[in-house]
Amino acid sequence: MSYTYEYPHPAVAVDIVVLSVDASLSDLQVLLVRRGDDPFKGALALPGGFVNLDEDLDAAAARELREETSVDCFHLEQIGAFGRPDRDPRERVISVAYMALVCRDACEVRAGSDAASAEWYPIIRDLAFDHLVILTAAIERLRTEICRAPIGFHLLPSPFTLGQLQRLYETILDRPLDKRNFRRRVLAMGVLREAKLVPALRAGKFFRFDKRAYDRAVRDGLRFGIWG
């Protein structure tokens, strides 16, 4: 059965903020596309697009990300809706925004669909539509959530050292952390598993995040928290 509405109604889009860090874990970066079509042709923007009529929002976000950048993401969470009336010059469009966290070493970026290019950039301010507002909201969400949920491990190579983990948190939070307090807290939670590597190839201890140990600890009352 089809329905006809007598009043105007907006279109719905999804926009995805894909965040990562550079190889040194010292610079937060965002995956941007250069628009191949109007409006804002040639401008940098977040990957995204319109939701199909028969499509779930989460599925639309995953599809648009894959079509425009070739990236499949395992951590994709909704961060809010953005509906300023003049945000899109084409028509009245409400965008549901998502945050995706990826390790750069684990994904290959290739532009597709209507994107002229897709590349990693440092956090910049000159973006199409209201995408700077969305990007800012995503960074604030990341800084809040990384201290109370194990989402930061999506940004790290595996295995990793405690030094790399601390450097990641310092980059995201934009402040130094006390080394002794940070390591004591991380190890006390019991959610890291030491990675057995060939001693001749790697020096020092390497770890992996243990999802099963984390789930057990949560059932036993663990409240995840990392700070320095």
Strand-pairing partners, residue 28, are 21
Q: What is the pLDDT of residues 4-58, one digit of tens each?
A: 777 888 899 999 999 999 999 999 999 999 999 999 999 999 999 999 999 999 9
DSSP string computed for 114-161: TEEEEEEEE--S--STTHHHHHHHHHHHHHHHTTTSGGGGGGS-SSB-
- For residue 184, the Cα-to-chain-centroid distance in whole angstroms is 27
pLDDT at 6: 77
CATH number for 150-219 (one of 1.10.10.10, 3.30.2130.10, 2.60.40.10, 1.10.1270.20): it is 1.10.10.10
Looking at the domain covering 11-145, what would its CATH class be? alpha beta
Question: Does the fold of domain 150-219 match that of domain 11-145?
Answer: no
Domain limits of the chain? Answer: 11-145, 150-219
pLDDT at 107: 87
pLDDT at 198: 60
Is beta strand 11-21 parallel, antiparallel or unpaired with respect to 93-101? parallel
Q: Give the residues of the chain that fall short of pLDDT 70.
A: 1-3, 198-203, 227-228
Element (H, E) at 225: none
Question: What b/e sequence results for 97-124 when a residue is b if at least 16 CB atoms lie within 10 Å of its CB, and e otherwise?
Answer: bbbbbbbbeeeebebebebeebebeeee
Q: What pTM did the predictor assign?
A: 0.92
Mean pLDDT across the chain, nearest whole number? 92
